[in-house]
Amino acid sequence: MAQAKTQTIDSATNKSQTPEPAVLNGAELLIRTLKDIKVDTIFGYPGGAVLPIYDALFDEHDINHVLIRHEQAGAHAADGYARATGKAGVVLVTSGPGGTNTVTGIATAAMDSIPLVVFTGQVPTELIGNDAFQEADIVGITRPITKHNYLVKDVNNLEQVVREAFHVATSGRPGPVLVDLPKDMLNTECRYSGLKKISIPSYKPTEEGHATQISKAAQLLSEAKKPLIYAGGGAVLGEAWEELTAMAERLNIPVTTTLMGLGGFPESKPQSVGMLGMHGTYYANMAMTECDVLLAVGARFDDRVTGRLDGFSPHSKKIHIDIDPSNIGKNVPVDIPIVGDVKKVLPSIDRQATKPDTEKWWDTINTWKREHPLKVPDSETTIKPQLMIERISHYTNGEAIVVTDVGQHQMWAAQHYTFNYPRSFLSSGGLGTMGYGFPAAMGAAFGCPDRTVVCITGDGGFQMTAYELATAVEYEVPLKIAIMNNECLGMVRQWQELFFNKRYSHSILKKGNPDFVKLAESYGAVGLRATNPKEMDEVLEQAMAINDGPVVMDFKVEEHENCYPMVPSGAALNEMVEGDE
Ligand X SMILES: Cc1ncc(C[n+]2csc(CCOP(=O)(O)OP(=O)(O)O)c2C)c(N)n1
Binding site for another protein (CB under 8 A): 139-140, 143-144, 147-151, 168, 200-203, 309-315, 324-326, 329-330, 332-333
**With respect to Mg ion, which residue has the nearer C-beta, 456 or 479?**
456
Pick from Mg ion, another protein, ligand X, none: which does 143 bind, CB < 5 to 8 A by kind? another protein
User: Smallest gap, in angstroms, from Cβ of residue 569 to Mg ion?
Assistant: 20
Catalytic residue, chosen from 60, 134, 497, 535, is 134
**With respect to another protein, which residue has the nearer C-beta, 288 or 563?**
288
Q: Are strands 317-322 and 227-231 parallel, antiparallel or unpaired?
A: unpaired
Query: Residues binding ligand X: what is the number (CB under 6 A)?
Result: 20
Specify whether 60 is catalytic. Answer: no
**Whole-angstrom Cα distance, residue 201 to residue 408?**
45
Question: How many residues appear in the chain?
Answer: 581
**With respect to ligand X, which residue has the nearer C-beta, 105 or 443?**
105
User: Smallest gap, in angstroms, from Cβ of residue 387 to ligand X?
Assistant: 15
Pick from another protein, Mg ion, ligand X, none: which does 23 bind, CB < 5 to 8 A by kind? none
**With respect to Mg ion, which residue has the nearer C-beta, 272 or 408?**
408
Interaction between residue 461 and ligand X (CB under 6 A): yes
| Sequence-ordered strand ranges (E) for 214-372 | 227-231, 255-257, 272-275, 293-297, 317-322, 336-339
Interaction between residue 458 and Mg ion (CB under 5 A): yes
> Edge to edge, what strands does the sheet with 293-297 contain?
272-275, 255-257, 227-231, 293-297, 317-322, 336-339
**With respect to another protein, which residue has the nearer C-beta, 48 or 325?**
325
Q: Which helix H or strand E contains 456, and what residues bound it? A: strand 453-458
| C-beta nearest to Mg ion: residue | 458
**Whole-angstrom Cα distance, residue 380 to residue 523?**
33
**Whole-angstrom Cα distance, residue 240 to residue 318?**
20
Catalytic residue, chosen from 147, 183, 216, 343, is 183
**With respect to ligand X, which residue has the nearer C-beta, 81 or 412?**
412
Give the chain's end-to-end CA distance (angstroms, integer): 38
Tell me 383's DSSP state: B
Q: Are strands 272-275 and 255-257 parallel, antiparallel or unpaired?
A: parallel
**Whole-angstrom Cα distance, residue 39 to residue 35?**
6
Interaction between residue 459 and Mg ion (CB under 5 A): yes
User: Which burial class, exposed, middle or buried, applies to 268 when counting CB atoms under 10 A from its CB (0-12, 13-18, 19+)?
Assistant: exposed
Specify whether 196 is catalytic. Answer: no
Instruction: Pick the piece of the chain touching ligand X (CB under 6 A) from 297-305, 314-322, 341-349, 458-466.
Output: 458-466
Interaction between residue 439 and ligand X (CB under 6 A): no
User: Smallest gap, in angstroms, from Cβ of residue 90 to another protein?
Assistant: 19
Instruction: Pick the piece of the chain touching ligand X (CB under 6 A) from 123-131, 353-361, 442-450, 485-493.
Output: 485-493
**With respect to Mg ion, which residue has the nearer C-beta, 87 or 409?**
409
**With respect to ligand X, which residue has the nearer C-beta, 474 or 559?**
559
**CA distances, 22 to each of 29, 36, 70, 185, 230 (Å):** 11, 17, 36, 18, 54
Interaction between residue 489 and ligand X (CB under 6 A): yes
Contacts of 504 (CB under 8 A, 6+ apart): 488, 493, 496, 497
Pick from ligand X, another protein, Mg ion, none: which does 21 bind, CB < 5 to 8 A by kind? none
Which residue from 101, 289, 313, 433 is in contact with ligand X, where contact means CB under 6 A? 433
User: Smallest gap, in angstroms, from Cβ of residue 490 to ligand X?
Assistant: 2
User: Smallest gap, in angstroms, from Cβ of residue 562 to ligand X?
Assistant: 10
Q: Please enumerate, as own/partner, the contacts of 394-398 that have beta carbons within 8 Å and a separation of 24 or more.
A: 395/540, 395/541, 395/544, 396/452, 396/454, 396/544, 398/268
User: Smallest gap, in angstroms, from Cβ of residue 221 to ligand X?
Assistant: 37
Interaction between residue 490 and Mg ion (CB under 5 A): yes
Pick from ligand X, another protein, Mg ion, none: which does 579 bind, CB < 5 to 8 A by kind? none
| Sequence-ordered strand ranges (E) for 247-377 | 255-257, 272-275, 293-297, 317-322, 336-339
Binding to ligand X in span 392-421, by CB under 6 A: 405-409
**Whole-angstrom Cα distance, residue 534 to residue 406?**
27
User: Which burial class, exposed, middle or buried, applies to 410 when counting CB atoms under 10 A from its CB (0-12, 13-18, 19+)?
Assistant: buried
CB-CB contact of 389 with 461 (8 Å): no
Catalytic residue, chosen from 15, 126, 133, 225, is 133
Pick from Mg ion, another protein, ligand X, none: which does 491 bind, CB < 5 to 8 A by kind? ligand X
CB-CB contact of 313 with 291 (8 Å): yes
Examine residue 347 and say whether the peptide bond preceding it is cis (omega within 30 degrees of 0).
no
**With respect to Mg ion, which residue has the nearer C-beta, 76 or 409?**
409
Specify whether 71 is catalytic. Answer: yes
Interaction between residue 432 and ligand X (CB under 6 A): yes
Instruction: Pick the piece of the chain touching Mg ion (CB under 5 A) from 159-167, 248-256, 452-460, 513-521.
Output: 452-460
**Whole-angstrom Cα distance, residue 46 to residue 52?**
10
Interaction between residue 491 and ligand X (CB under 6 A): yes
Pick from ligand X, another protein, Mg ion, none: which does 434 bind, CB < 5 to 8 A by kind? ligand X
Which residue from 142, 486, 507, 513 is in contact with Mg ion, where contact means CB under 5 A? 486
Binding interface with ligand X (CB under 6 A) = 405-409, 432-435, 458-461, 484, 486, 488-492
Residues tagged active-site: 71, 133-134, 183, 491
Q: Which stretches of the chain bind Mg ion, using CB under 5 A?
A: 458-460, 486, 490
